[in-house]
């Protein structure tokens, strides 16, 4: 199920953006306004009279160039433009470089309940940090039941019914030198470049639930290298109980995908049965996927060799 995302203006004061040293000039009681777009915007065109370029839900960055331009505009015309702009659905204005803001604009924003924040940082720094912060929170997101690991540089998501052995297999893979990203509840975000990034949220980060043992802290048990904060999801492996008589892919020619937030990810169904070392199988699946990404598909190469052998041994009519 996808997560509906927005960021309240108050969240811009979080520790992640502490380097911007944001302060409130007005709108202290309206910090609950919602930012709904990950891209910030500079309202220079709007100050010039092109109001339709103000997009709803976007942070508006007012820098030195905007202030310099406004100083050249006739005061009466500037006031009319201010009145038009504050009537638009703007969640917050941020003034950079500690620049002073026009008292008329400040009064209008206070009247309309639009927060104005100020930062001593340069415009490009504010833009860069805010864009990263907002993109990380406002892209499409969902929560999945599974275990995410980093194996051979790949993000491998293990899914399957509860009790199938996902966490136990993941723990075995951690002891083999791989890293845990998230156990049980994986938060996944889809970024504009096509990457699906998974991670763990909240106090359960770096922890695993093992039946019979309870909750264990993987970072404390195995060290910092045994965990990772996040990873792209490159391969989905579904563990399922072995069913006698059920047809399973024996050659590896079938290429299936698993859709996460409308993004297809290579997908493997892996039957679990007594005597099968699932962690080794998952590790081999990851190695094999790396080879495929490099252009080496073992099953197809074998088929081509067999076809060539048959063709050589077939008499010419």
pLDDT digits (tens, 9 = 90+) for 68-88: 999 999 999 999 999 999 999
Nearest to 156 by CA among 272, 258, 252, 241: 258
Provide the pLDDT for residue 303: 46
Distance between CA atoms of 304 and 298, rounded to whole angstroms? 10
Catalytic residue positions? 145, 166, 184, 250
Do 239 and 147 meet the contact criterion of CB atoms below 8 Å apart? no
Beta strand ranges found along the chain (DSSP E): 2-3, 7-8, 23-26, 34-35, 60-62, 93-95, 116-118, 141-151, 154-160, 179-190, 196-199, 207-210, 214-217, 230-232, 235-241, 256-260, 263-272
Provide the pLDDT for residue 311: 61
Provide the pLDDT for residue 66: 95
**What are the angstrom distances between the C-alpha of 110 and each of 9, 102, 115, 117?**
15, 12, 7, 12
Distance between CA atoms of 147 and 278, rounded to whole angstroms? 14
Tokens of 148: 């995410």
In the three-class reduction of DSSP (H, G, I as helix; E, B as strand; rest coil), residue 296 is classed as coil
Tokens of 131: 């864009």
The full set of domains in the chain, from first to last, is 2-138 (3.40.1390.20), 141-302 (3.40.50.300)
Tokens of 38: 């990950």
Provide the pLDDT for residue 251: 53
Residues of the chain with pLDDT under 70: 1-4, 245, 247-254, 275, 296-317
Distance between CA atoms of 216 and 168, rounded to whole angstroms? 12
Do 41 and 85 meet the contact criterion of CB atoms below 8 Å apart? no
pLDDT digits (tens, 9 = 90+) for 46-55: 999 999 889 8
Interhelix angle 75-86/103-112, rounded to 10 degrees, is 20
Distance between CA atoms of 17 and 176, rounded to whole angstroms? 37
* 188 burial level (CB within 10 Å; 0-12, 13-18, 19+): buried
Interhelix angle 166-175/278-293, rounded to 10 degrees, is 70
Do 175 and 210 meet the contact criterion of CB atoms below 8 Å apart? no
Length of the chain: 317
Name beta bridge partners: 209. Answer: 215
Provide the pLDDT for residue 179: 96
């Amino acid at each position: 199920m996808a997560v509906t995302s927005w960021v309240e203006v108050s969240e811009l004061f979080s520790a992640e953006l502490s380097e911007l040293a944001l302060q409130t000039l007005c709108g202290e009681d309206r910090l609950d306004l919602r930012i709904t777009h990950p891209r910030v915007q500079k309202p220079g065109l709007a100050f010039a009279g092109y109001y339709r370029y103000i997009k709803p839900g976007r942070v508006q960055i007012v820098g030195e160039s905007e202030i310099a331009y406004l100083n050249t505009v006739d005061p009466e015309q500037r006031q009319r433009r201010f009145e038009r702009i504050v009537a638009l659905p703007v969640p917050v204005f941020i003034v950079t470089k500690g620049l002073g803001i026009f008292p008329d604009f400040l009064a209008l924003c206070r009247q309309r309940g639009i927060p104005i924040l100020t930062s001593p940082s340069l415009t490009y720094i504010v833009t860069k940090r805010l864009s990263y912060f907002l993109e990380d929170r406002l892209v499409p997101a969902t929560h999945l039941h599974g275990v995410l690991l980093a194996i051979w540089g790949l993000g491998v998501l293990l899914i399957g019914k509860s009790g199938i052995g996902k966490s136990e297999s993941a723990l075995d893979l951690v002891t083999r030198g791989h890293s845990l990203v998230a156990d049980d509840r994986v938060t996944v975000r889809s970024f504009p470049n096509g990457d699906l990034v998974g991670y763990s949220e909240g106090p359960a980060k770096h922890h695993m639930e093992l039946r019979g043992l309870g909750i264990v802290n993987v970072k404390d048990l195995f060290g910092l290298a045994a965990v990772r904060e996040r990873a792209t999801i490159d391969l989905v492996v579904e563990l399922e109980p072995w069913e006698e008589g059920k047809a399973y892919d024996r050659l590896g020619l079938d290429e299936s995908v698993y859709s996460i937030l409308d993004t297809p990810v290579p997908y493997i169904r892996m039957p679990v049965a007594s005597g099968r070392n699932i962690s080794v199988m998952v590790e081999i699946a990851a190695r094999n996927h790396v080879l495929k990404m490099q252009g080496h598909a073992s099953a197809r190469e074998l088929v081509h060799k067999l076809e060539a052998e048959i063709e050589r041994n077939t008499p010419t009519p």
